[in-house]
Structure 1
Amino acid sequence: MFNPGFLLAADFHCDSGYLLYGNFCYFFEIEDVKNWANAEAECVKEQGHLASFHSEEEFSFLIGERSDALRDSAWMGLRRQGDGSYKWSDGWPVFFTQWGPGEPSNLQDEGCVSMHAAFPFHGTWNDTDCAVAKSYICKISYGTAPSVPGFDDPPRLTGLV
């Protein structure tokens, strides 16, 4: 019997320019920099969100695979809430962090989180001003979308390349 709520990553592929990990496709946008809100809007247009990371394994895999693509810091989906806590733009609670030294600084105008690309802080996270234009990382889920091959195929990922 077909179970539309459970799909294996092996059943999917990511479009050219995207990286598959687990049930997700990731895209590193390095050419068209945007502020945090506009970057999130672009990811939502692709039926995803700015990237959320839920384990050291997931984060390490992506950084290891695409560290050459990032020339500068990049937005991810973590944002400070009104109560001072942090939450991912896809709604997930925070299980894993990779804050850089002295971060988060929690300054009033630093409510969004980016990932450093340059050494010695490569891969660490920094809270920063949401209005600054940066590269960004989108994360699109294929693992939860119902799909019947040939009838309800997952949407094609286009428009960010």
Structure 2
Amino acid sequence: MALNRVIIFVFALLVLLLDETEGQSARSKPDRNKVKHVRGDDDDLKTQIEKLWKEVNSLKEMQALQTVCLRGTKIHKKCYLAIEEAKHFHEANEDCIAQGGTLATPRNSDENDALMKYGKISIPEASEWWLGITDMVNEGKFVDVNGIAVSFLNWDRSTKQPDGGKRENCAMVSQKAQGKWKDEVCRDAKKYICEFLIP
């Protein structure tokens, strides 16, 4: 609601400013000093308009993030949103990116535990789901979907994970293994949870 008012205000301001500058040029012949002054004013107005548009876009992003947080959950300065449609790793990550986030990547045991609890509630029929972690580029060197090395790892050592070699390059979390991770073939279809950072 407030965002709509801001957009209407910015639009009205633009119309008034354009009318004012057109009216000034139609009323009289400008002398050189006035032209320089008007051009300087135009530059100031353009700068102010650009700032206003940036603010409007920022408000839109915040509103979208709040919507995601309302549909999902907020944990440790992140919002999570469970997606019930099963997709392969790359499709799942692309979907999260299209919504303004990435596949969930726990950075510590608290985040991993919170993510597990949220997953059990949100997608209870799923025994496992994708994480935003892969070793596709360099076997055995796990990174997040942005290519940043992952320092927190929670592999299921009881099943000697990660055990897939070059065939299984994408990480998933398992409810059966109490939140431990396994590596899996990236083309398998799994449900997933998107992660959105809160600024």
| TM-score for both structures, normalised by structure 2 | 0.60
Shift in Å at residue 62 of structure 1? 2.2
- Percent of counterpart pairs with the same letter? 22
**1:28-87 deviation per Cα after TM superposition (whole angstroms, max 9, x unaligned):** 112x11000000000000111001111111111222343233422100100014322110
Aligned pair 1:114/2:172, yes or no? yes
1:17 maps to 71
How far apart, in 2, do the equivalents of 1:47 and 1:65 lie?
Answer: 20
Aligned pair 1:103/2:133, yes or no? no
Shift in Å at residue 27 of structure 1? 1.0
1:6-155 alignment runs, 5 A limit: 13=66, 14-30=68-84, 32-68=85-121, 69-70=123-124, 71-84=126-139, 85-100=141-156, 101=158, 102-118=160-176, 121-143=177-199
Kept after mapping to 2: 8 A contact 1:52/1:90: no
Which is helix-richer, 1 or 2?
2
Which is strand-richer, 1 or 2?
1
Higher RCO by CA contacts (8 Å cutoff, separation 6 or greater): 1
2:175 partner letter: A
How far apart, in 2, do the equivalents of 1:117 and 1:141 lie?
Answer: 24
Shift in Å at residue 107 of structure 1? 2.3
Matched pairs, number: 129
Q: List runs of 5+ in structure 1 lacking aligned partners.
A: 1-11, 144-161
Shift in Å at residue 137 of structure 1? 1.1
2:91 partner letter: N
Q: List runs of 5+ in structure 2 lacking aligned partners.
A: 1-64
**3-state DSSP class of the match of 1:67?**
helix
| TM-score for both structures, normalised by structure 1 | 0.73
Structure 1, 131-140 or 104-113: larger mean CA deviation? 104-113
**3-state DSSP class of the match of 2:82?**
strand
Shift in Å at residue 91 of structure 1? 3.8
1:74 partner letter: W
**1:120-151 deviation per Cα after TM superposition (whole angstroms, max 9, x unaligned):** x13111100000100011101122xxxxxxxx
Kept after mapping to 2: 8 A contact 1:72/1:135: no
